[in-house]
Amino acid sequence: MALLTLGINHRTAPLELRERIAFTPERMAEAFAELRAASGASEAAILSTCNRTELYLAGDDDCAALVLRWLAGFHGLAPGELEDAVYLHRDTEAVRHMMRVASGLDSMVLGEPQILGQLKDAYALAREHEASGSFLSRLFEQTFAVAKRVRTQTAIGENPVSVAYAAVSMANHIFADMSRNKALLIGAGKTIELVARHLSEAGVKDFLVANRTLDRAQNLAEEHGGCGIVLSDIPDHLPEVDIVIASTASPLPILGKGAVERALKRRKHRPYFMVDIAVPRDIEPEVASLDDVFLYTVDDLRQVIEENVRSREGAAREAENLILAGAQEFLGQLRALDAVATLKQFRTQAERQRDQEVEKALRALRNGGDPETVIRSLGRGLTNKLLHEPSVQVRKATSEGRVEVTHWLRELHQLETQDNEVSVTSEKL
């Protein structure tokens, strides 16, 4: 069975393209059903974050073109619009790629921890939709184990470097004393939880958290002494905040240009600092054209992030070695499983041949045959049955020049090499 990884990320595609092929939670069931039917893959998983969309597939080696066509069509694009941005990894490289992603080595933020949780969520979704079988399950479990080793055995995650941290760091450069500023956080997921924590550590004391579900918004806000509101209340509270950071899974923008314009008039044009971490975007891009609004997207944080990852480069090299070892360990496990399956089939065949010869011998004994003659006949018959097909295949292989088959036979049965046979083989070569 072949393993394929097909996707785009922050290195290969701009934000405008990434948000067009992001998968929303509402369409996941539809996506899993269509993906497996369109590609012929026996197993599938989908990872969709602000920085990447990746499909993990176990199936035929030639299904990549079908997957690309489906991915484009599902999101209303032509395949040509994705071709320059898509990457494809197969088998060993696909294993290494997943492990690099889980360990944060393929992230915009080197070593960021959030991607591991997102990958675990992707695995849980695949299992929920019965799209992940034994092959992908083994790969995900090994990947999580390797990512844990990277976290515990290297310094890749020692300093707080993440998209959330970068957003707050940028705000710190704009506001001299952040304790005087009020923040509005849109969403209540893991990214916003990190944002709230970093803002609190930076001195922000006044929080509003807006979410589709009020209970979740209130729970997160209360952890930092703030208040929770529903999304529809944002326009009423927008004039009173200075910092807006958004990260939801909404397929459509939550904050529009008109609402920001009206808020600016009530604020007497005191500036806004806004960061839209979501893909698709939560804040209409046109908001950036307004005076007194400093709007940044996840791609704009790249420079801040790059300045903070240099200290992790040595740890990244150590992590790459752990990933390489982890990938080799996983591939070794697969080879061992394949050997077990082959040996089981080999034993079943041998037992069937044995039973046939034993039954023949028992019939002979029941018919009054001489026991010694019957036993000798049983031995010859069983030997002939067991050796016939291997002998035919070895002769065929050597006649075709595949002399390594003879060497494998000697290794399997611990046979001594005969000098005259070596010379004959040498002459043929």
Give the contacts of 268 (CB within 8 A, at least 6 positions apart).
Answer: none
Q: Per-residue pLDDT for 89 more than 80?
A: yes
Q: Say what the pLDDT of residue 9 is.
A: 96
Higher-confidence position of 314 and 4: 4
Q: Say what the pLDDT of residue 334 is.
A: 79
Q: Whole-angstrom Cα distance, residue 272 to residue 25?
A: 30
Q: Which residues are catalytic?
A: 50
Q: Per-residue pLDDT for 260 more than 50?
A: yes
Higher-confidence position of 428 and 135: 135
Mapping DSSP to helix (H, G, I), strand (E, B) and coil, where does residue 417 land?
A: coil
For the stretch 284-294, pLDDT in tens is 999 999 999 99
For every residue of 200-262, DSSP letters joined together read HHTT--EEEEEESSHHHHHHHHHHTT-EEEEGGGHHHHGGG-SEEEE----SS-SB-HHHHHH
Q: Say what the pLDDT of residue 424 is.
A: 42
How far CA 295 is from CA of 8, 22, 164, 245, 299, in Å, comes to 24, 21, 15, 10, 11
Q: Say what the pLDDT of residue 427 is.
A: 41
How far CA 369 is from CA of 1, 353, 364, 372, 383, in Å, comes to 51, 21, 5, 9, 20
Largest Cα span, the chain = 114
Q: What is the mean pLDDT of residues 147-162?
A: 80
Q: Which residues pair with 158 in a beta bridge?
A: none
pTM comes to 0.64
Q: Say what the pLDDT of residue 172 is.
A: 84
- Are 155 and 320 within 8 A, CB to CB? no
Q: Say what the pLDDT of residue 426 is.
A: 40
Mean pLDDT of the chain: 88
**How close are the terminal C-alpha atoms of the chain, in Å?**
35
Whose CA is closest to 161, among 206, 104, 215?
Answer: 104
For the stretch 270-279, pLDDT in tens is 899 999 999 9
Q: Whole-angstrom Cα distance, residue 76 to residue 22?
A: 12
For the stretch 5-43, pLDDT in tens is 999 999 999 999 999 999 998 999 999 999 988 888 899
Q: Per-residue pLDDT for 421 more than 60?
A: no
Mapping DSSP to helix (H, G, I), strand (E, B) and coil, where does residue 185 land?
A: strand
Q: Say what the pLDDT of residue 417 is.
A: 65
293: number of CA atoms within 13 Å, CB side? 30
Q: Say what the pLDDT of residue 95 is.
A: 94
Q: Per-residue pLDDT for 303 more than 90?
A: no
For the stretch 187-233, pLDDT in tens is 999 899 999 999 999 999 999 999 999 999 999 999 998 999 999 99
Q: Say what the pLDDT of residue 422 is.
A: 46
Mapping DSSP to helix (H, G, I), strand (E, B) and coil, where does residue 175 land?
A: coil
Percent pLDDT > 90 in the chain is: 54
